[in-house]
Amino acid sequence: VTRAMDEAIDILRRTAGVQIDCGTLKEGPPGIESQADVESVVLPTVRRLQAEPTDAYVIACFSDPGLHLAREVLKKPVLGIAESAYLAALGLGHRFGVVAILERSIPRHMRAIRMMGLEGRLAADRALGIGVTGLSDRDSVIGRIVAVGRTLRDQDGADVIILGCASMGRYRSELEDRLEIPVVDPCQAAVARAVSLLTLGYRTVA
């Protein structure tokens, strides 16, 4: 997942002139699939951020674990990739669709979207039905995302698609070619937003 993410945000390294380092949390599970997975990484994630001082932090998991804590503790911008993806999608289309990994992630997404007051802009959230670790077979994953994305577009009225996982950004270009609407990779969205916040001198507030 970390390598996939690294590849997806490389585009930002080349143009934004900033240094972007990706790290893997050793204590974490292979993927975040359950609320137990989410909660297990909250404190280790924030400790890790505290241990590696930098100008801005991105928590690269679509459940945004530890986001509010990290903002309280650190005096720098801290960004979640899910919230960044929702904000990016608002600027790219009228109604966004979300491609969830698993059916059971959808209530967690709904809570986050409602928490931000954005449910009026949500077209629908639909699951791939593939586990995080099963996301490595490129062709079948892309085929499945395209199928779900077309349902979101044609049936639910989405005109922008959010990939509800940290590791699918490297497929963005192919997905946009096949879906013909913008596709948001949450990691790219968060790193780009971090660059903007740094440039303009903002920090995020708890």
Residues making contact with a second copy (CB under 8 A): 11-12, 15-17, 34-36, 38-40, 42-43, 46, 66, 68-69, 71-73, 83-84, 87, 90-95, 104, 106-108, 110-111, 114-121, 157, 159, 173, 181-182, 188-189, 192-193, 195-202, 204-206
* 10 versus 52: smaller Cβ distance to a second copy: 10
* 72 versus 137: smaller Cβ distance to a second copy: 72
Residues 6+ apart with CB under 8 A from 198: 18, 55, 56, 77
Tokens (6 digits) for 148: 């779900």
* 49 versus 136: smaller Cβ distance to a second copy: 49
CB of 161 to a second copy, least distance (A): 12
* 24 versus 50: smaller Cβ distance to a second copy: 50
Residues 6+ apart with CB under 8 A from 158: 93, 95, 96, 97, 123, 124, 152, 181
* φ/ψ of residue 9, rounded to 5: -95, 5
Which residue is associated with the tokens 């080349």? 14
